Amino acid sequence: MSLPEQLLLSDLLRRRVRCDQGLDHGVGFVAWMHPPVHRLLGWASRPSSFGPKREVWRLNQLRGLGELEVLVKGEPAQSDQTTLERLPTLMQAQLFGLGDQPLGTLVDAAVDLRTGAIRHYLVSRSDPRLPGSSRWRLSPERIDDQRPGQVFARLQELDDLPLARASVRQEFMRRSRRWRDQVQDLGDRFEQKVEGWLEDPPWPEESPRQPFEQEPWDQDDWDQEPAQQPNPRSRRSHERASQPGDDPWI
């Protein structure tokens, strides 16, 4: 098992902890962090579903990461649920924007496993337990103030943050907005072309012609009767009659 450079806190907590002796120490359930400097110090596991016993692990004890478990080296620190509830944390803190407007909840964090530094938090608008909900990235530099259970940032809305994971509804809204912008851009371009054609038409201008306009004529040509053409049949009959040998009455 190898360690990645970066890991989500939720991926660490959902795995079972197994030490180098092969013992199962239960599933991780809470983060141990230092909020003023945005650093993860470790996490705690629950060895048994019954009883107040809890075991706390330092982040540098992590040795390997599997599909369903994490491998640690060394002994954990013993603690209890009451003590862990008093540890400061920003997980599940409410995010407030400008005008103290509630925007969402900090539900996860991306952690650098070499130093424990939190690169960014993941903010959810709805219940984080709902599958397929959207996540927005909130970097620690954008946090102006923090109190127990509250985080303040200069944001108008969550869309001011980069989107880390979009839900089906959020993805549909984003694509619809992009398609609407593309259609509006095409409409503006077509309108500009039409205006350019009206100002400078591509075809040569011609003088307008009146309807039913005809070419002028000469009155003498209109009064003159057309010349009659001789009939070829009558001409042949006249030639036969002029020949005496062909007269049937002689």
**Whether pLDDT at 69 is above 80:** yes
Collapsed DSSP state (helix, strand, coil) of residue 23: coil
- The residue out of 62, 85, 108 marking a domain boundary is 85
Instruction: Answer whether 97's CB lies under 8 Å from 67's CB.
Output: no
Q: Is residue 243 part of a domain?
A: no
Residue 68, token pair as written in the block:
């369903």
Report which of residues 36 and 240 the model is more confident about: 36
Report which of residues 226 and 168 the model is more confident about: 226
Report which of residues 175 and 11 the model is more confident about: 11
**Whether pLDDT at 66 is above 60:** yes
Cβ burial of 165 (10 Å; 0-12, 13-18, 19+) is middle
Q: Summarize the confidence of residues 228-242 as an average pLDDT.
A: 53
Domains held by the chain: number: 2
What is the chain's length? 250
Residue 238, token pair as written in the block:
């006249």
Q: Summarize the confidence of residues 127-150 as an average pLDDT.
A: 86
Distances (CA, A) of 170 to 59, 63, 155, 204: 35, 37, 19, 53
Collapsed DSSP state (helix, strand, coil) of residue 35: helix
pTM, two decimal places? 0.65
Q: Is residue 175 part of a domain?
A: no
Report which of residues 169 and 35 the model is more confident about: 35
Residue 58 lies in domain:
6-85
15: domain CATH number is 2.30.30.240
Distances (CA, A) of 189 to 2, 180, 183, 186, 202: 54, 14, 10, 5, 18
Percent of the chain at pLDDT > 70 equals 63
Residue 105, token pair as written in the block:
């909840």
Report the alpha-carbon distance of residue 216 to residue 213 in Å, rounded. Answer: 9
**Whether pLDDT at 248 is above 60:** no
Q: Summarize the confidence of residues 205-231 as an average pLDDT.
A: 53
